[in-house]
Amino acid sequence: MEGHNSSTEIIPYNSHSLPLAIINFLLSTGASLSNGLLIVAIIFDPYNDLRTPSAMLVTNLAITDLLNSLIAGYGTFIYDVFKYKNWAFNRTALLAIIVTSALAIVCGTWCMLLMLADRYVAILHPLVYRVRVTHARVKLAIALSWVYSLVFNSLPILGVSKQLYGFISSHLHVTIPALIIGTVYPRLILIFRSRPATLRTVLGGDGADRAPRGVRPGPRRDGKFTSAILTLIVCFYVSFIPYFIALNIIYLYPHGENIVSLQVFVEVGFVVLLSSGLLNPIVYALRVPKYRKAIKAILGVTRNVVLPSSAESSL
């Protein structure tokens, strides 16, 4: 139903909108704070342990989660409030929420694949990791992922229907990556666990640790970082399942968009998907010691921080 202004639309009242708005607000706030803290901890890490290509990928994923929570998350919160109050909502603002969310999700998906590729090289080719995985190459890969996401998300503007766009996106960015990850990652874990502990110490926690001179990296560091990445991937794709199902139902049954129960399912699916952005920084803090150490330093929890010398930081 149209409002008095063609740029706005009266949103039909839904009783479920208020609880969803509250959950959206809480998740968005938690994800914004945690990802913002993670980004600050990586950039201003006093130990200089997070100046690695892998940390760049972690930062990129945190940026996508932060973007999704600040604009899509809070935007959906405002939209749900307007829906609950049966107020008119600006169509341009709604489009911005949808585009931002799609942009962040697609970039996040590609970042997961880049992380998988990083682990692949670190575990299967540890001796040449620093040669193959460089800062310049990772920066280029990240830039290309953002360009691709911008181009792909312009499809609706070019005339592709919303239903077809959602269907293509769900399989191109969920089904195919999930099959790749499900095939590759178990093999990586088996290979890593079969390696002698001495070989696991060739690389540090993310394949490029700089251990202080005379101190040998711990044999479990690489496993902890790899385990953390696996946990992130599992959380992301599990959280995507409800939204993935909803997108496919809408494509196969276009008139279902007018069914209230399906609308609720779509919105709940997005809320579940949003929760993965909150979990990511928590996983790093719990599973990877150097991220936890950097976060504690930024929060002022760690005392007597000993900064590495220039000679040590170049190792």
Query: Mean pLDDT across the stretch 223-237?
Result: 81
308 near 99, Cβ under 8 Å? no
Q: Is residue 214 part of a domain?
A: no
Domain that holds residue 277: 9-203+220-299
CATH assignment of the domain containing 178: 1.20.1070.10
Is residue 25 over pLDDT 90?
A: yes
Q: Is residue 313 part of a domain?
A: no
**CA-based torsion, 75, 81, 82, 84: positive or negative:** positive
Q: Is residue 308 part of a domain?
A: no
Helix runs in the chain, H state only: 17-43, 53-67, 74-85, 91-124, 129-132, 135-152, 162-170, 176-194, 197-200, 221-252, 260-287, 289-299, 310-313
| Average pLDDT score over the chain | 81
Q: Is residue 307 part of a domain?
A: no
116 near 131, Cβ under 8 Å? no
Q: Is residue 121 part of a domain?
A: yes
Total domain count for the chain?
Answer: 1
Q: Is residue 295 part of a domain?
A: yes
The amino acid that residue 16 corresponds to is H
Q: Is residue 239 part of a domain?
A: yes
Q: Is residue 149 part of a domain?
A: yes
Enter the pTM of the model.
0.83
Q: How confident is the model at residue 229 (pLDDT cuts 50, 70, 90)?
A: confident
Among residues 9, 28, 8, which one has the least CA distance to residue 273? Answer: 28
Query: Mean pLDDT across the stretch 281-290?
Result: 87
Among residues 57, 31, 30, which one has the least CA distance to residue 42? Answer: 57
